[in-house]
Structure 1
Amino acid sequence: MRLAYWFFIVAILAGLAGMGLGIQMGIAHDFTLMPVHAHVNLLGWASLFLYGLYYRVEPSAEGTALAVIHFALAVSGLVLMTGGLTLMLQGNEALMPVTIAGALCAISAMAVFLIVVLRRGFAPRRAASIG
């Protein structure tokens, strides 16, 4: 399966998790986890889906080791940051390093994505063959 679709699958799962969390918070009238809800939707649904769209439009960019590193960092950032933040907001301050590690993975994923885009943007274009 192409990397773009892995980004899509994880993004959709994150979107479902974010929506589920939002519904649960609304039903319970307990919005303690609102920051988690926001990060799941932004880092998970929005960012991962946009990354997937880029790789879908630029398929030559997804067959690189850097693209796989990008995926690993993005997913790790999502899981670590939202998982750590959830437990921190529930009173376990000792998990601050996990949340920080997740945030660093997320920003590293964006930096790697910049490199992927720049490499592809400055790559020489091949002339289309005729016939």
Structure 2
Amino acid sequence: MSSIFLRMSVLFVLLGVGLGYWMGMTHNFIVSPVHAHINLLGWVSMFLYGLFYRAFPEAAEGRLPKVHLALAGLGLPVMMIGLTLAVFEVAGLMPIAQILLILGPTLVVLGMIVWTVIVFRATGRKVVLAA
């Protein structure tokens, strides 16, 4: 789980930095919100997820971390596609953009909620029974 999130994070940072580079070259900053979300949710959050799962390997076991991965890994791209369509105001695709801008952030928030549960489970007080 850790390696998957770490690898996803570096792919997102390449995308985010590439987008920032393009904006600087063209002096067209219309996709700044896309750039910011890719860097924050894609690079930073995914990297932190990866580090957390590396520090607490037992937290990566079971079904819940897989749900977290699916929600986080799908939510951000869906949201970024919707946001890109919205900021460019692509004619005819605005209804799809609106759907993606509801679905994507919902998946991201649900992923954060699942991750919160995982963090609390992994960092909660452990009771050791004496034999």
Q: How much is the aligned-residue C-alpha RMSD, in angstroms? A: 1.4
Instruction: Give the percent of matched residue pairs that are identical in Structure 1 and Structure 2.
Output: 39
Aligned counterparts, 1:63-74, within 5 A: 63-74=61-72
2:32 to 31, 34, 39: 34
Residues 27-82 of structure 1: CA deviation (Å, up to 9, x unaligned): 01100000000000011000000011000000011022100100110111111111
* Cα separation, partners in 2 of 1:11 and 1:97, compared to 1, 3 Å: same
Unaligned runs of 5+ in 1: none
Between Structure 1 and Structure 2, how many residues are aligned? 125
Please name the residue that 2:121 is paired with.
119
Please name the residue that 1:100 is paired with.
102
Calculate the TM-score normalised by the size of structure 2.
0.90
Amino acid across the alignment from 1:10: M
Unaligned runs of 5+ in 2: none
* Cα separation, partners in 2 of 1:53 and 1:125, compared to 1, 3 Å: farther
CA distance in 1, matches of 2:109, 2:102: 11
Please name the residue that 2:46 is paired with.
48
Please name the residue that 2:12 is paired with.
14
Please name the residue that 1:61 is paired with.
59
Runs of 4+ more than 6 Å apart: none
Most deviating of 71-80 and 88-97:
88-97
